[in-house]
Amino acid sequence: MEYFDSIVLAQFQLTDEIFVLTVERKGASAAAGQFFMLKCWDKELTLMRPISIFKADEDMLSFMYRVVGEGTRKLAELKAGDTISLLGALGTGYPIGEMHGKVALVGGGLGIPPLCQTAKELSQQGVQVDVYLGYRDQLFATEDFEPHCQSIFISTETGSEGYKGFITDLLKPEQYDAVFTCGPEVMMRKVAAMCAEKQTACWCSMEHRMACGIGACLGCSIRTTEGMKRVCKDGPVFPSKIIF
């Protein structure tokens, strides 16, 4: 974990609200499921913003995020060459090293981007990856999964692409050694319940408002069956059995 300034390499707008920001990695650590705290302001805003890793290449880090408020709006205004401050990589990601056989990744909405780096790291160690991506209407990041996955299943709520309905309708947990999920809580809860029923191990990635990002302020604590846990430090990835 380090706090450092970096340079913006690129910013792409994918949809009305979704952007991809790419910055120089500057030797920072980064693993699937981890996140960084970002800021491109001095004191105009108080808190840094937690954004998960979309892609970590040798020299660069990419973040895919939705503009939801003032902080992300400022991030979206960044252009190549601008300076940005990063704190990270933070948190506990997916247990990639423990995986073998066949793993399903189930993402919904802005829970999809962090699974891209996850698919890459799993495939690099020889795990067979199937990915299930649930969108509301417009697709994004789908093609980024192609190099790392055996099969890609897609659903949209509107039926504009792929299966019309929820992505969980397509998932068969019994076909996998483990399932990793990231997205809306209602989706992850469903995935966790389906996995529990079929006795497939499941990990989920939680989202929370954060202040420090490093485990000091307890601003992001959530209740689990093992007591209070910090999303920023003990998570964001947790075994789903302790959460749901």
Partner 1 sequence: MTLSTSIHGITFKNPIIAASGTFGFGEEYNELYDVSCLGGISSKGLTLHPKDGNEGIRVYETPAGMMNSVGLQNPGIEAFIEHGIADMRKFDTVLIANMGGHSMDDYITGATMLSKADIDMLELNISCPNVKSGGMAFGIKAEVAREVVSAVRKVCTKPLIVKLSPNAENIIEMALACEEAGADALSLVNTFQAMAIDIHRRKPIFNNIYAGLSGAAIRPIALRMVHSVCKQVHVPVIGIGGIYTPEDILAFMMAGATAVQIGTVNFNNPLAGKELVENLEKLCVQEGIQDINEIIGII
Query: Residues interacting with partner 1, by CB under 8 A?
Result: 1-3, 39, 43, 45-48, 70-71, 87, 209-221, 223, 227-228, 233
Considering the complex, what minimum distance in angstroms separates the CB of residue 213 from partner 1?
8
Other C-beta atoms closer than 10 Å to the C-beta of 99 total 22
Q: Tell the smallest beta-carbon distance from residue 74 to partner 1 (Å).
A: 12
Cα 69 to the center of its chain, rounded Å: 19
Taking the least distance from each CB to partner 1, the nearer of 80 and 216 is 216
CB of 92 to partner 1, least distance (A): 14
State which residue, 183 or 213, has the beta carbon closest to partner 1.
Answer: 213
Work out how close the CB of 221 gets to partner 1 at its nearest, in angstroms, rounded to a whole number: 6
β 201-205/178-182 pair status: parallel
By CB atoms closer than 10 A (0-12, 13-18, 19+), residue 150 is: exposed
Distances (CA, A) of 126 to 106, 114, 241: 19, 19, 26
Q: Which is nearer to partner 1, 32 or 231 (CB)?
A: 231
CB 73 → partner 1: shortest distance, Å? 13
Nearer to partner 1, 26 or 102 (CB): 26
- Smallest gap from Cβ 108 to partner 1, in A, equals 21
Q: Which residue has the tokens 């093992």?
A: 226
- Residue corresponding to tokens 């792929």: 162
Nearer to partner 1, 215 or 239 (CB): 215
Q: How far apart are CA 72 and CA 50, in angstroms?
A: 10
Of 47 and 76, nearer to partner 1 (C-beta) is 47
